[in-house]
Chains A and B, each alone.
Chain A
Amino acid sequence: MAGKRAFRRAIASSLCAVALMLTVGPVAWAQKKELPSVSGRVPQPVIEPARGGQCVEDPAFMRRNHMQLLKHQRDETVHGGVRAAKYSLKACIDCHASKATGSVTVANTNFCQSCHSYAAVKIDCFECHASKPAQSSFPPIAPHGQAGTHALSQQLRQLVTQQQAKP
């Protein structure tokens, strides 16, 4: 009986290992190969470069934890009047607003919107909060010349290429 049980256990564990390889394998392979976002089957979010230099935390940490930081900060601000804090939503927007649209959420290529539509997570912030920096801290949308329009057209091209790459 004991031998039979051990045999069953061995079969079960090897089946698990095969299943694991089947699921993890392609992902690991894709990561190893580091496919450029455009040629992949799944469209990747467009991450626009921010205006400032360094983010308040490491980008990988921010991707996972920005919502907790914002939620904590909002209570500090509303109830305690802590305005110029490290994790304020206003500071995020000031830095991450698109050079083309001036917003973090208007176009599908804008910073917040692109990741959130990729992850299919609805953002409620901007039903109340302004998605653009205050006028004073906000440079003109299309500065003299074609920098702004150029940036927008590049983003659009990237988005269109992604759409075409879809099966």
Chain B
Amino acid sequence: MKPDQTPPSAKSAAPRASRRGFLGVAAAGLAGVMLAPGVRLIEIAQAAPGTPSANASSKVRWGMLIDSNKCASGCNDCVTACNTENGLSGGTRPTDSQWIRKIEIKEIRTGKTQSLPMMCQHCAEPPCVDVCPTGASFKRADGIVLVDKHICIGCRYCVMACPYKARSFVHEPQTNQKPDVPRGMGTVEGCTLCVHKVDRGEMPACVTACSDAGHGAMIFGDLNDPNSEIAIRVASYSSRQIREDLNLNTGVRYIGI
């Protein structure tokens, strides 16, 4: 490699230096390029647009642990809290948006019924991101799967691809949206893990509502932090992903199913 291939940053790092100093810096820059090309590429990839630093950090993996043994059948508080927080109508027509819903499951042989909330599972390998033709469906650096509605064209491929039926399409013009939660006709939406609250350091609305109702069936936290409550619980109790066979590595995990 010739010296003139030194990255411009290395040259600018030696302002008004002597010839020897300049050569030294240039050599250091070259060594950096040649010795650790992989490291540099990763650094560049992390700084690329789409994953800017600040709040969404790749060191964090937000996740949720839901204990279906504690989830009360008939309790709908998480759904109501989600609708209130995000300005959803709460209707149940096929054209109404539903970011979280309660489902009842039954073991046929024993008759044991269980109740659990179902929403976007914030996969590490999200199928909705794979199929999106415009890049509107994306995974944030901290593992939250979102729709960038500025570039969503409303094709609904992601709605089809999601195995959890977690995405909704907005069919009608919207009014009185929440300032933190923009929603508009012609775009797809789904659970955001209340990303606007998480960025402020708060819990998602459903988790707060569940603990306020006294059930405490939902825990939210950083799966990558070994000292967080969710990481400790996941490490000490057996928890499962829904549709484990798809190997999506979901951020939302369940106990007792």
Residues of A within 8 A of B (CB): 74-76, 78-83, 90, 93, 127-130, 132-134
Closest B residue to A137 using CB positions: B179
Specify which chain A residues have a CB less than 8 angstroms from the CB of B150 in the assembled complex. Answer: 74-75, 78
How many A-B contacts if CB must be within 8 Å?
69
**Knowing A79-B140, A81-B195, A83-B199 touch, does A128 contact B54 (C-beta < 8 A)?**
no
Q: Are A76 and B179 in contact (CB under 8 A)?
A: no
Complex CA gap A129/B198 in Å reads 20
Q: Are B140 and A81 in contact (CB under 8 A)?
A: yes
Judge if B182 is at the interface, Cβ distance under 8 Å. yes
Closest B residue to A124 using CB positions: B184
Complex CA gap A130/B55 in Å reads 23
Complex CA gap A76/B84 in Å reads 26
Specify which chain B residues have a CB less than 8 angstroms from the CB of A133 in the assembled complex. Answer: 179
Secondary structure class of chain B's binding surface, majority of residues: loop
Q: Are A81 and B148 in contact (CB under 8 A)?
A: no
- Interface residues contributed by chain B, number (CB under 8 Å): 33
Specify which chain A residues have a CB less than 8 angstroms from the CB of B173 in the assembled complex. Answer: 127
Q: Are B52 and A76 in contact (CB under 8 A)?
A: yes
Specify which chain B residues have a CB less than 8 angstroms from the CB of A83 in the assembled complex. Answer: 55, 196, 199-200
Closest B residue to A132 using CB positions: B179
Q: Are B182 and A81 in contact (CB under 8 A)?
A: no
Specify which chain B residues have a CB less than 8 angstroms from the CB of A132 in the assembled complex. Answer: 179
Q: Which of A74, A76, A81 has the most CB of B within 10 A?
A: A81
Closest B residue to A71 using CB positions: B150
Judge if B51 is at the interface, Cβ distance under 8 Å. yes
> Closest CB-CB distance, A19 to chain B, in whole Å?
43
**Knowing A79-B49, A79-B50, A82-B52 touch, does A127 contact B184 (C-beta < 8 A)?**
yes
Show 6 A/B contacts (Cβ-Cβ < 8 Å), sorted by A.
A78-B148, A79-B138, A81-B140, A90-B180, A128-B183, A134-B178
**Knowing A79-B140, A81-B140, A83-B196 touch, does A130 contact B52 (C-beta < 8 A)?**
no
**Knowing A93-B179, A128-B182, A130-B177 touch, does A82 contact B148 (C-beta < 8 A)?**
no
Q: Are A134 and B55 in contact (CB under 8 A)?
A: no
Q: Which of B54, B140, B142, B176 has the most CB of A within 10 A?
A: B54
Q: Are A80 and B182 in contact (CB under 8 A)?
A: no
Additional A-B contacts beyond A80-B56, A80-B141, A90-B179 (11; CB < 8 A): A75-B148, A78-B146, A79-B49, A79-B56, A80-B53, A80-B140, A127-B173, A127-B174, A129-B177, A130-B177, A133-B179
Secondary structure class of chain A's binding surface, majority of residues: helix
Specify which chain A residues have a CB less than 8 angstroms from the CB of B149 in the assembled complex. Answer: 128
Specify which chain A residues have a CB less than 8 angstroms from the CB of B54 in the assembled complex. Answer: 76, 80-82
Specify which chain A residues have a CB less than 8 angstroms from the CB of B182 in the assembled complex. Answer: 128-130
List B residues 9-57 near A (Cβ within 8 Å): 49-56
Instruction: Give the 4 A-B residue pairs with the shortest CB-CB distance, closest first.
Output: A128-B184, A81-B55, A80-B52, A81-B56
Specify which chain A residues have a CB less than 8 angstroms from the CB of B174 in the assembled complex. Answer: 127-128
Closest B residue to A80 using CB positions: B52
Specify which chain B residues have a CB less than 8 angstroms from the CB of A128 in the assembled complex. Answer: 149, 174, 177, 182-184, 187
Judge if B155 is at the interface, Cβ distance under 8 Å. no
> Closest CB-CB distance, B147 to chain A, in whole Å?
9
Closest B residue to A75 using CB positions: B49
Q: Which of A76, A79, A83, A132 has the most CB of B within 10 A?
A: A79
Complex CA gap A76/B141 in Å reads 12
Specify which chain A residues have a CB less than 8 angstroms from the CB of B140 in the assembled complex. Answer: 79-81
Specify which chain B residues have a CB less than 8 angstroms from the CB of A134 in the assembled complex. Answer: 178-180
